[in-house]
Amino acid sequence: MLTIVAIDDDLQNLELVKALAESMGYYVMVAQSGEDGKLLIEQVLPALVLLDLRLPGGMDGWQLATTVKATPTTAHIPIIAMSVAINADDQRRAKEAGCSLFLSKPFHLSALRKYIKQFVENL
């Protein structure tokens, strides 16, 4: 079973994303901070990362994406960035950080389902 890591500081968002991905047959591990997400990604080497960009604390989503993409053992992992109230500059920064796709919250579950399938099937 393929693993997806979801990182979001909002517990409701994590539960929603986890339930959706699990209904698709994936195993989902979650983190609520950039630091915890980084450790989880390094430990499990997931097939996909679902990442909130606006994380509290020392490491936000942009920093985490940059770190994941700069690390040889994790650089291949696709990242779907998800965030609310994002402007064009934020989207540009997400792309520069290495995010494969950006979804603005709130998003339709059907869109997330489609993109999860698209990225995981390309493995």
CA dihedral 35→102→107→5, nearest 10 degrees, is -40
pLDDT at 11 over 90: yes
Q: Which of 47, 45, 41 is nearest to 25 (CA)?
A: 47
Pairing label, strands 48-52, 27-31: unpaired
Is the pTM here over 0.85, yes or no?
yes
Tens digit of each residue's pLDDT (9 = 90 or more) over 17-58: 999 999 999 999 999 999 999 999 999 999 999 999 999 888
Spatial CA neighbour of 25 closest among 4, 52, 53: 4
Check residue 85 and give its pLDDT.
Answer: 66
Domain boundaries, the chain: 3-15+44-121
- Model pLDDT for residues 53-111, shown as the tens digit of each residue: 999 888 999 999 999 999 999 999 999 999 886 788 888 899 999 999 998 888 889 99
The CATH number corresponding to 3-15+44-121 among 3.40.50.10310, 3.40.50.2300, 3.40.50.150, 3.40.50.620 equals 3.40.50.2300
